[in-house]
Structure 1
Amino acid sequence: MRWNKWIRQLHRWVSIAFTVTVVIGFVAASGALPEWVFYLPLLPLALLLFTGLYMFVLPYAAKRRGGRGAVSRPAAL
């Protein structure tokens, strides 16, 4: 369970880094900068892709294993 918590925390921090790099790219677009500056957000975006896909698959994998999946709420009477 700690592994899942670590992945979620990594996803949150990488999303902050991605947002910052995109904002820097927009601010830097007004000046003459090397082209590689505009490719900087791609690294955090790739990490977000992998961590996001991992978190997306977790409930389905848990359900398939027969373990605790997503919390199911009882039907209201």
Structure 2
Amino acid sequence: MNRFIRSAHRWLSIAFTAAVIANFVAMALGEPPAWIVYSPLPPLFLLMFSGLYMFALPYLAGTRKHTAQ
């Protein structure tokens, strides 16, 4: 499960970066459509959740070790 979360987090970061770049290119060409403006938000929210999960993993693993002793 952890390997899948890490891999998904990496791919989501690529999708987020591409969406932000597309957003800047579209803004440089004129008024962009709303779907381009809001396209970075879904990967950003998924990155937030996967990042918080990975951030909490060491703390949760430490809690399990202390309760097992």
**Percent of aligned pairs with the same amino acid:** 55
Q: Which has the higher helix share?
A: 2
Greater than 3 Å deviation, 4+ residue runs:
none
CA RMSD, aligned part only?
Answer: 1.2
Counterpart for residue 36 of structure 1: 35
Bigger relative contact order (CA 8 A; separation at least 6):
2
Q: Residue 59 of structure 1: CA displacement?
A: 0.2
3-state secondary structure, aligned to 1:29:
helix
| 1:12 maps onto 2:21 in alignment | no
Aligned residues: 65
Runs of 5+ unmatched residues, structure 1: 68-77
Q: Distance in 2 between matches of 1:25 and 1:33?
A: 8
Q: Residue 61 of structure 1: CA displacement?
A: 0.2
| TM-score between both structures, scaled by the size of structure 1 | 0.79
Counterpart for residue 52 of structure 2: 53
Return the index of the structure with the highest Cα Rg: 1
